[in-house]
Amino acid sequence: MIPALLRAYGPAVSTGVLLALAFPRFSLFWLAWAALVPLLANTWRTSVTAAAGRFCLAGLVFHLILLHWLVTNVYWAGGAALLGYVLLSLVMALYWAAAGAAWGWLQPRLPVGVAVFVAFPALWAVMEKLQATLFTGFGWSAAAYSQGPNLAVLQWAALGGGTLIAFGIAAANAGLAAAWAAREARRKVWLTAGSIGLIVAAHVVGYMWLDEARYGEEPFQAAMVQPNFSQQMKWDAQFYEAMVEITADASRALAADTSPDLFVWPEALIMPPFILRDEEEELRISFEPGIGRILQEFAEDIGAPVFTGAQRRDPATGHWYNSSHLLDAEGYPKAVYDKVHLTPFGEYVPLGDYLPFVDQIVPAIGELHPGEELKVMEASGRTFGPLICFEVLFAPMAEKLRNDGADFLVVITNLGWFGASAALEQELDIARLRAVETRLPLVHVGNTGITGVFDPYGRFHLAQQYFRAGPVETGQGLPRIEEAVPFEAPTPGATQDRRIGGVLPVAEAGERVLDYGPPLFPYVAGILLLLTAVWALVRGSRPSPDPSELPRGGAWRSLGE
């Protein structure tokens, strides 16, 4: 009984574990090129329902491991967070189940080469696109995000986005699985050679596209502060002014020996809501008096624009927004951006108006209102596109900012909800892919986590200074910052739970391999899947081999004739 269960479901569990290990924090990215092999070999010539079930199991194991950091929400939302974590993992696994069912139907109706090198990778690419799009989208587990340290392969995103990388990974896996299951030596050889050749070509060609970033004679300098304020402080009104004051002190310390072109502070640094008014086509922002004074004094001292995250309330409608705003070198508002793509169950409850019991099961941290449009902002001669936290998941948003004229991206986050979990590294590699896809440098600033700058080719430059407190205290008894001190050997892991910062150059925008390739390729994959499905329908099913003729191991070993 147990051996039979292991033969039937062990490969699916193995695939889920191996693929999860390819992602941060383990970052064994090379495993992604073979992680699907046990599952695919185990589902070769099985029934549609068996393939769907085993794919679902693999997807569930994978997402339970990958998204383990969601369990930390138990601290904020109680046991409902654990239920939400399991349900989300199950929903994502259902996409895998659908892909497995389709794969089970396509396999016996297509030539082997077409099935493994066209149909399955197209199917996988379409599945990931649907994960990133349907029901507000949650594409956190896309295969391309596992390749963050693999800069050579990552360059393919400049041709066809993360979807093209997923296509290649899926094709290599399917080819290796078919070779494993093949009965004929000649077929084993050409399938193995084709898969290995694909992997080698992906790395060689990608390496050829990996260029040096251009900075110009006088590079644009971004000053970043990761203030490392706990969530408890953020929701405690007595610390509202102190958080802004300490961040301003840190910025002054960074500017002591440099002249930054832009200061970037993280998401939701300013907690009391500001009021936005448009008077005679000029923006007016009303802060709480103490915070307004701190910002004005900082602007007068430094003379450089500041971009940061804040809460906003519209007095006319009563709506609350997760916003960001740019203050010019004199401290006056230049632009405001309201977060367009809110985080489900974090910033709003999906279907909350129609299913009021949902917010009792999984309460949102706050019921916010989405912004209306993306915006680009200008600072010191450069144009940037802002994204707030969860929005970095969505490639079309970064693409639109690029098309609207942004020559670099700014991502501000607050991942303090998830402690020092793997969520921080995973989100960073998602941002890395956005930089490569758009060939735009990306400034990444978190309240906690990992802060620094990506160049257009995905190289990351870490903020390399920490802050030393002096004897002066804020009105709340917190020590104010006196100076910025360089790390001797900075690493991302060492900065996750520290107050850090840095002044780093922001590269110029790069040239994409194919300008319209990244947004177009998901549709190319969809067309390929449709064509192979039509071919399979016309061709019909070939007779499966008699079970008695299969070698020991059954579906594990049979490729079919």
Residue 194 has what pLDDT? 95
Answer for the pair 94, 56: CB distance below 8 angstroms, yes or no. yes
CB burial readout 491-504, b (16+ within 10 A) else e: ebeebbbebbbbbb
CATH class of 220-506: alpha beta
So what's the pLDDT on residue 363? 47
d(CA 456, CA 210): 10
Q: What is the rounded average pLDDT of the residues 447-456? A: 95
Structure confidence by residue, pLDDT tens digits, 516-528: 999 999 999 999 9
Q: What's residue 214's pLDDT?
A: 96
Q: Is the pLDDT of residue 5 over 80?
A: no
Q: Is the pLDDT of residue 244 over 80?
A: yes
Task: For 84-132, write each residue's pLDDT tens digit.
Answer: 889 999 999 999 999 999 999 999 999 999 999 999 999 999 999 999 9
Q: What integer is the mean pLDDT of 199-203?
A: 97
What's the average model confidence in pLDDT over 27-43?
97
The per-residue pLDDT for 277 is: 78
Percentage with pLDDT > 70 across the chain: 91
374-397 core/surface letters (b: 16 or more CB in 10 A; e: else): bbbbebeebebbbbbbbbbbbbbb
3-state SS, residue 47:
coil
> Cα dihedral angle (266, 438, 150, 162), rounded to 10 degrees?
100
546 pLDDT tier (thresholds 50, 70, 90):
very low
As a whole number of angstroms, the distance between CA 514 and CA 437 comes to 10
Region label for 526, one of left (φ > 0), alpha (ψ between -120 and 50) or beta (otherwise): alpha
Residue 359: the pLDDT is 52
Across 192-204, average pLDDT: 97
199 band by pLDDT with thresholds 50, 70 and 90? very high
- Specify the higher pLDDT residue, 496 or 320: 320
- pLDDT computed for residue 554 by the predictor: 39
- Of 12, 182, 34, 198, nearest to 112 by C-alpha is 182
Whether 367 and 325 have beta carbons less than 8 Å apart is answered as no
Residue 389 annotated among the catalytic residues of the structure:
yes
Q: What band does 45 get if pLDDT is binned at 50, 70 and 90?
A: confident
Name the average pLDDT for the chain.
Answer: 89
**Average pLDDT over every residue of 25-34:** 96
Band (pLDDT 50/70/90 cuts) for residue 279 is low
Of 189 and 287, the one with more pLDDT:
189
State the catalytic residue, choosing from 128, 339, 375, 437.
Answer: 339
Per-residue pLDDT at 561 exceeds 90: no
The pLDDT of residue 280: 59
Q: What is the pLDDT of residue 349?
A: 64
Q: Where are the domains of the chain?
A: 2-211+516-556, 220-506
Query: What average pLDDT does this structure show over 188-203?
Result: 96
Least confident residue range of 160-169, 414-423, 446-455: 414-423
With CA atoms as reference, report the closest residue to 91 among 397, 388, 345, 367: 345
pLDDT > 50? residue 549: no
Work out the pLDDT band at 479, boundaries 50, 70, 90: confident
Helix, strand, coil percentages for the chain (3-state, nearest 5): 50, 20, 30
- Compute the C-alpha angle 365/369/375, nearest 5°: 120
Distance between CA atoms of 472 and 484, rounded to whole angstroms?
16
Which pLDDT value is given to residue 348?
Answer: 66
Three-state DSSP at 66 gives helix
pLDDT of residue 343: 81
The per-residue pLDDT for 175 is 96
- Residue-wise over 354-370: b if at least 16 C-beta within 10 A, else e? eeeebbeebbbbeebbe
> What integer pLDDT is reported at residue 351 of this predicted model?
52
Residue 556: pLDDT over 80: no
pLDDT at 365: 53
- Please give the residue that has the higher pLDDT: either 48 or 470: 48
CA geometry: angle at 341 spanning 435 and 317, to 5°?
A: 140
Write down the catalytic residue from 241, 245, 267, 399. 267
Q: Which of 92-96, 269-273, 325-329 has the highest mean pLDDT?
A: 92-96
Q: Is 267 annotated in the active site?
A: yes
Query: 187: how many CB neighbours lie within 10 A of its CB?
Result: 17
Catalytic residue chosen out of the listed positions 129, 241, 347, 389: 389
